[in-house]
Copies of this chain bind each other. A is one copy, B any other.
Amino acid sequence: MGKVATADALRFMADCLKAVGAACKPAQQQAELLLQADRLGHPSHGLNRLEYYVNDILSGACLPNNQPKVLKESPSTAWVDANNVLGATSSHFAMDIAVNKAKETGVGWVSVKGSNHFGIAGWWAQKAADKGLIGMAFTNTSPLLAPTRSKQSALGTNPLAVVAPADNGETFYLDMATTAVAVGKIEMQLRKGEPIPNGWAQGPDGKETNDAALAFETQCLMPLGGGESTSGYKGFGLAAMVELFCGVLSGSFYGHHIRSWSHKGDGGPANLGHCFVAIDPESFAPGFSTRLADCITHWRSLEPTDPNLPVLAPGDKEKNHAQKTDRDGTVTYLEQQLHTSAALAKKLKVNPMKVLAD
């Protein structure tokens, strides 16, 4: 583990993207997106993904200096072609449209095709919440989730995010994959030499497994809810709903047509689909943010089953992690990530991140 000043991590990530040809603005926006994941305590979507984006630019699968464009528009909707830009570029473009439409008509619903990974979904929903709106963001991803009863995967981890502003500086923040867990959690159990719980992943025979190594190798996650007896088909249904809003609505690749997850950028353009929604609570009953704050406060005040584990409102974990990061002014990275980043710095002839003494 090693600490890096947040400003230095941001600078490094933007520098790497610029080194492979991205202009200042898209590089900066993509770096901010990655840093936010590290800041909120979701390292799988942070610096960890940088080389993936770099490789996609190097291979020509991602064209960071293209411009997204609107293909079709109605008072409350837009259909956008991202033109293979970085996920942050297309997502800023699309969510700005959704926000403007919500301010005019009450709702903005924007569907995007031809895009690349957009990092943490919550960052995009938060963008609308920062304007006083309810924000939602969805994306499809490479196949990893096995539908209930299926031996193989057919959908991605297909995350959804809903973020809304409440009184007293509170925020409702939900950002979740529709699989039970992300692959990163299996990897963590593997490193600790511990088994995985029921309901996380399948082995190559299609059966639920507790073997972390087998699960990591198979890369076939179970939907939220796990097996059929615990309603895993609901998680499958949610992943399918996200695909309906993303690939099916936008005409991007979808489901089983999406390229496999590859670190090398050799799968051709990702052509992912996203969906961005903004809703103006002012269009409905007065007092939205007060009632929302009341809910958040109530959930936190519930008597916990284990006195040492207080009940958390959606987003409390992320909020606590962000506060610590901001207080320290540093992000903590695993040794492996620091090594990879140092090697990347060398390869791209970019100033490496400075690892701070403890």
Contact = CB atoms under 8 A, between A and B. Distances in A.
Nearest to A175: B237
B284 A77 contact: yes
Contact of A230 (B76, B109, B180, B255): B180
Contact of A310 (B149, B286, B287): B149
**Taking the full assembly, how many copies of this chain does it contain?**
2
A147 B298 CA distance: 11
A174 B285 contact: no
A233 B312 contact: yes
Contacts of A75: 75-76, 104-106
10 contacts: A72-B283, A76-B106, A77-B283, A109-B279, A148-B312, A150-B305, A154-B299, A181-B231, A224-B225, A225-B226
A134 interface: yes
A281 B174 contact: no
Contact of A147 (B197, B226, B248, B299): B299
Nearest to A208: B305
A229 interface: yes
Interface in A170-200: 172, 174, 176, 180-181, 197-200
Given A107-B76, A255-B295, A284-B111, A200 B151 contact: no
Given A154-B298, A248-B295, A237 B149 contact: no
Interface of A: 71-72, 74-77, 79, 104-107, 109, 111, 113, 134, 147-152, 154, 162, 164, 172, 174, 176, 180-181, 197-200, 202, 205-207, 224-226, 229-231, 233-238, 240-241, 243-244, 247-251, 254-256, 279-281, 283-288, 291-292, 295, 298-299, 302-306, 309-314
Ranked nearest first, the 3 interchain pairs of A and B with the lowest CB-CB distance are A251-B285, A206-B305, A77-B106
Contacts of A286: 251
B229 A224 contact: no
A284 B72 contact: yes
Contact of A74 (B74, B106, B250): B106
Given A79-B285, A206-B304, A243-B295, 5 more contacts: A74-B105, A149-B310, A180-B231, A224-B234, A224-B235
B291 A254 contact: yes
A149 B104 CA distance: 41
A332 B241 CA distance: 31
Contacts of A250: 284-285
Nearest to A102: B76
B229 A197 contact: yes
Contacts of A247: 291
Nearest to A80: B284
B244 A164 contact: yes
Contact of A248 (B154, B255, B288): B288
Given A152-B303, A305-B206, A298 B79 contact: no
